Amino acid sequence: MEWIGLITAATFRSPGKALERDLQSGSLQSALEQLAKQHELTPPRLPRAPLSELQAAYTRLFAANPAGLPAPPYAAYALDDQLMGKAQEALEAFYSEHGLAPRDGWRDLPDHLSALGEAIALLANPNPEAARALAFGYLKPWLERYVDVIAKEDTTGFYATVCTLLKNVLEAEDEAQS
């Protein structure tokens, strides 16, 4: 779970130097491979894309797009098609039940996927069940709804690759459960 959280957090924050480091050092690549192995999935290969391309893709997909955001990166939005809606209130409640609260510096909604990913990672050890709940209650629905869109719209292939893997991993986890 922790890795799912970490990767989600890493992927959905605005691409910057940090991401570039992870890509060059290959730590993100190896993280994906580990995750894939754990669930007997073929480890994906991250496409090589210059940071500027990633930034452009990120903006087009998740930030601002005259053609409409293909995939608004808000977990609750995938659930009730509404910002600041019921699903988000529930998520915030969930956070605070588990002692999590948005930091002051955080200038986005609490259900932004990078925040969600961080929450999953943070909860993974103290409270695995909560982490699972978040991953399956919020992350998975979002991926299921948007992974195809991203595959279609993402010119770099980076986001498509990661999202597809995350989705498959979560589905594998699901089967493992049942």
Partner 1 sequence: MKLNRRRFLTLSAASVGALAFTGEARAFRAPWAAPQKWYEGEVKTVFSYCENCFWKCGIAVKVAGGRVRKIDGQPANPKSRGRLCPRGQAGVAQLYDPDRLKRPLIRIDGSSRGDGKYREASWEEALDYIAERMLGIKEKYGPEAIAWFGHGSGDKWFVEYLPAAWGSPNAAKPAVSICTAPRETASQWTFGRPIGGHEPVDWTETRYIVLIGHHIGEDTHNTQLQDFSEALRLGAKLVVVDPRFSTAASKANRWLPIKPGTDLALLLSWIHVLIKENLFDREYIKKYTVGFEELAVHSNKHTPEWAEKITEIPAETIRAVAREMAAARPRAVIPPGRHTVWYGDDTQRMRAVYILNTLLGNYGVPGGFYLAKPPYLEKYPHPPFPLEPAAGGCSGSSGGEEELPEGFKPRADKDKFFAKTTAIQELIEPMLTGEPYPIRGLVAYGVNLFHSIPNVPRTKKALKGLDLYVAIDVLPQEHVMWADVVLPECTYLERYDDLVGIAHKTPFIELRQPAVEPLWDSKPGWWIARELGLRLGLEEFFQWKDIEEYLNTRLELIGSSLAEMKEKGTLIQRGRPYLKDWERRRRNPFRTPSRKIELYSKTFADHGLDPLPEFTPPMPVPAGFYRLLYGRSPVHSFAKTQNNWILMELNPENEVWINRHEGEAIGVQHGEYVWIENDTGVREGPVRVRLTERIRNDCVYLVHGFGHKSRGERLASGRGASDNALQTRYVLDPISGGAALRNNFVKIIKGAPRPKHKHIGQLARERRL
3-state SS class at 60: helix
CA distances from 177 to 1, 53, 125, 135, 137 (A): 14, 38, 19, 14, 15
Candidates 29, 41, 43, 100; binder of partner 1 (CB under 8 A) is 100
Distance CA 44, CA 46 (A): 6
Between 95 and 143, name the residue whose CB sits nearer to partner 1: 95
Q: Does 81 bind partner 1 (CB under 8 A)?
A: yes
Distance CA 83, CA 76 (A): 7
Between 16 and 175, name the residue whose CB sits nearer to partner 1: 16
3-state SS class at 29: helix
Residues 33-62 that bind partner 1 (CB under 8 A): 52, 55-56, 58-60
- Beta bridge partners, 112, equal 74
Candidates 114, 156, 161, 168; binder of partner 1 (CB under 8 A) is 114
Contact 160, 148 (CB under 8 A): no
Candidates 24, 38, 65, 128; binder of partner 1 (CB under 8 A) is 65
Using the contact rule CB under 8 A, the part of the chain among 6-14, 37-45, 158-166, 170-178 near partner 1 is: 6-14
Distance CA 178, CA 175 (A): 5
Q: Does 93 bind partner 1 (CB under 8 A)?
A: yes
Positions in the binding site for partner 1 (CB under 8 A): 2, 5-7, 9-10, 13-16, 18-19, 21-22, 27-28, 31, 52, 55-56, 58-60, 63-69, 72, 74, 77, 80-86, 90, 93, 95-103, 105-110, 112, 114-115, 117-119, 121-122, 125-126
